[in-house]
Amino acid sequence: MSIVELMIAMVIGLIVLGGVSQIFLSSRATHRNTQAMSEVQEGGRFAFDFIAADLRQVGYRGSCTEGVNNLLNESGASYNAARFDMNNPITGWDSWADMPGNDDDLLEVQTARYVAGTHVIGLKQSGAPAMCAAPNQTEMIRAAGDTSESSPTISIDCASDIADGTLMMVADAQGCDVFQTRPSGSTTLLSRAIGGNPGNKNPSTNNFSHPYAADMEILRVQSAVYYIGRETANARPGLRRILFNQGGDILDQELVQGVSDMRLEYGIDTDGDREVDRYEEKAIDVPNWRNVLSIRVSLTTQSNETGITGEDDAFRDQEGERRLEQVFTSTIALRNRLP
């Protein structure tokens, strides 16, 4: 083979190699963009699954159609109406600093995790029925008999694994009461003795709203705050939820990673016809939270995949990485406030 033939073969080989390399790089970029789009859409879907489920159940209190009788210790140092008042089951804040009663635990969240400029919302409901412990854990707890107005305990028909400090609601068509479980020495009693965090009012001077028959509903209360935060200072942001179901003891959990922003608009009924008349973009402008009938939620999600191509779709995060970003918006009705 002559030198000329060898050079021609090398040139042809380089051309072919360049074409293959171009196809490989293009395919790799397409795969990364497709993967990023899947991550963004998956993150948005899961985030809405969590927050929409709680929004739809806001204010649920079983068969109770009256106001909630609050047996929690409202004068205690750890009581915070924004977390525990079931008569006001929804409140929004334009920033973390607007939340009332920022105790040490929540201040730590603010300084270490909260993403500045994002909205925060608190939701309360009593949607989950209390269940029996094993081996009857597929059955709901029921009262073992009638409960008088002044009773400090409720007898139940099965052993319970409800932890001390759990927030509970008992309800029927005549009304409902919220209290915090206290140690009773028996797994078949729910006690509302004094003490705890935030604790109960003294049962000897604070009765249930009315006597309860054995067919009362026994429900767990969920109190939650949704916000955008980071697991650690340099971690990616995500949708997080703080649970106050054990009273003053909080559980801060990341639900979906990659959610960088949450914006809320509040649908308000201004004339009492139980239909939304306008939307407020700022929580501070909502005149009465009891008139909020729907929430318009906008969540911004980012891909975990970096190095995304295309100026229109790419977004640079705080570390300068190019990620795909998309905004998902949905209007969610508060079912328990609609006609």
The span from the CA of 27 to the CA of 308, in Å, is 13
- pLDDT at position 299 is 95
How far, in Å, CA of 170 to CA of 217, rounded? Answer: 5
Res 303: pLDDT? 85
Alpha helices in the chain (DSSP H): 3-56, 81-84, 104-112
Helix (H, G, I), strand (E, B) or coil at 32: helix
Decide: 168 and 178 in contact? Cβ < 8 Å.
yes
Q: Which residues pair with 263 in a beta bridge?
A: 298
Which parts of the chain sit beneath pLDDT 70? Answer: 1, 24-32, 101-105, 307-320
- CA 72 – CA 192 distance, rounded (Å): 9
Instruction: Tell me what pLDDT residue 24 has.
Output: 63
Query: Other C-beta atoms within 10 Å of 296: how many?
Result: 17
pLDDT at 102 (0 to 100):
59
How far apart (Å, rounded) are the C-alpha atoms in residues 209 and 67? 10
Q: What is the pLDDT of residue 302?
A: 87
pTM: 0.86
Q: Which among 337, 48, 77, 50 is positioned nearest to 198, based on CA atoms?
A: 77
Tally of helices (H runs) and strands (E runs) in the chain:
3, 15
Please name the residues in contact with 6: beta carbons below 8 A apart, sequence gap of 6 or more: none
Is 266 in contact with 276 (CB distance < 8 Å)?
no
Q: What is the pLDDT of residue 304?
A: 79
pLDDT recorded at residue 28: 65
